[in-house]
Amino acid sequence: MPSEAFDHGLLSPVTVGHDALVSDDAVLAALVRAELGLVQAWSALGALPAETAGMIAAAWGSEAEATAGSGSGDGSASMPVLAIDVAGLAVAAVDGGNPVIPLVGLLKNALPAEERRWVHRGATSQDVLDTALMLVARRAIDAVLIDLARAEASLAAFAAEYRDLVAAGRTLGQHAVPTTVGLRAVVWLGGIRRSRLRLQQLTLPVQLGGAAGTRASFLEIGGPDAALLPARYAEVLGLDDAHDVWHTSRWPVTELADALTQTTDALGKLAGDVVTLSRTEIAEVSTGAGGGSSAMPQKSNPVSAVLIRSAALRAPQLAATLHLCAALADDERPSGAWHAEWPTLRELLRVALGASAQAARLTAALRVDRDAVARNLAVTRGLILAERLSIVLTPLIGAERMSALVAAAAAGGDLAVLLADLPEAGDIDVAALLDPATYSGDAAAAVDRATTHNDTGEARR
């Protein structure tokens, strides 16, 4: 019997095994948590007893019951509750255009009549759904941060190990000047570090604006004290207080999208370089056993790098859609643009989860073939040092003779012999001039700075 699930990741291998935090079940759990958080926030204001809030949590089967009304702020309770049929809820959501409307009915029906008025008290559907998506995002980002930290640690160790291994630097696909394997790793490391810091610094706020963003319903119900309700809501859910309503000012979503895309960009750079450097004719790095081919048994493909690249190619388009939705968030509540955000943001979180997990795996398995690095460095027979030769020799022999020297070497001449034959050779240490290890600039210092880097940024909370 085929599964009823629509998407197991069959066409998205980078996300397989990393979907649970953004699944429909996870979204349902977050929706219920957002509704319960509102009850707890009202309780924190003194509008209803903590015992009543606890009873509501118990009736909904929430693991957050132990913290109901306590303002613990972990926001991480595991659900779903009430044995809610996710597929049935999705069908019921069609008529109202969102799942909160039928969910509220189910949650109310689980309570005694006298307590039902506290469900969704003063809120609108967008308040709950936006808040739930921020809860989902927070848990997903926490998981991404763990994998990025693992990748950072592996790359820092890798950079230190290969700090002084000189390699051919390439620009526009061609040999340029010497670099080091350690410095190359520092470039990867720097991109990941910056993206991790940006994720840590994100603001992931609750949404609580009422029907049209005026919060009139909350003030009508709770009086002046209800002005504190958004802050209490943020506290009990472990999210941020944006202070202002963001129904149509969608910066929390676009900033999140940008940070996730910066992350997949950084991981895509790493993965792209690994794919290139593991090419058969280059073979400077390998990634362990690799993946085979259905037709070519000799192959050992850099599968993790390939999957990361697939995520990096998808993420910018998803982020672009979220920016377009933000720009088209009309009036006081968006029509259609808001709805288009939900699956787009979920997919962006999904690919970031998969890419970061694959990056942790890839960096832990990354190995260098020192012989291949040396072989490729020598392939131009010293011409990789042409920039240095030009700097040193042009003042001695002039630009025309310098050009002729390079042309002769490029035509197959032995550069060391050509240099030794110069009348000015007595003033030149040819061996030192042609040593790539002495023309790697401050590569070693850059590795040292990166591998002793302790400031990974403050955690978001």
Residue 62 amino acid letter = S
Q: Which of 352, 375, 398 is the last residue of a domain?
A: 375
CA distance 66 to 54: 7
Q: Is residue 200 domain-resident?
A: yes
361 and 309 fall within a common domain: yes
Catalytic one of 116, 333, 375, 460: 333
395 and 286 fall within a common domain: no
Q: Is residue 23 domain-resident?
A: no
148 and 265 fall within a common domain: yes
Catalytic: 154?
A: no
Q: Is residue 270 domain-resident?
A: yes
Segments forming the whole domain that contains residue 422: 386-433
149 and 253 fall within a common domain: yes
Residue 83: the pLDDT is: 82
Q: Is residue 458 domain-resident?
A: no
280 and 153 fall within a common domain: yes
Residue 68: the pLDDT is: 34
275 and 405 fall within a common domain: no
Q: Is residue 263 domain-resident?
A: yes
CATH number at residue 359: 1.20.200.10
Catalytic: 217?
A: no
420 and 342 fall within a common domain: no
- Quickly list DSSP for 32-63: HHHHHHHHHHHHHTTSS-HHHHHHHHHHTT-G
Label residues 275-309 b or e (16+ Cβ within 10 Å = b).
Answer: bebbeeebebbbbeebeeeeeeeeeeebbbbbbbb
pLDDT averages per 10-residue partition of the chain, 461 residues: 68 90 95 97 95 94 44 44 86 96 96 95 97 98 98 98 97 95 98 98 97 95 95 97 96 98 98 96 86 58 93 98 95 92 97 98 96 96 94 93 94 92 84 94 96 56 38
192 and 169 fall within a common domain: yes
335 and 251 fall within a common domain: yes
Q: Is residue 412 domain-resident?
A: yes
Domain count, the chain: 2
304 and 409 fall within a common domain: no
First to last CA, the chain: 46
Q: Is residue 341 domain-resident?
A: yes
Catalytic one of 293, 335, 403, 461: 293
Residue 137 amino acid letter = A
β-pairing verdict for 174-180 and 166-171: antiparallel
Q: Which residue has the tokens 């997919």?
A: 347
276 and 408 fall within a common domain: no
Q: Is residue 400 domain-resident?
A: yes
362 and 394 fall within a common domain: no
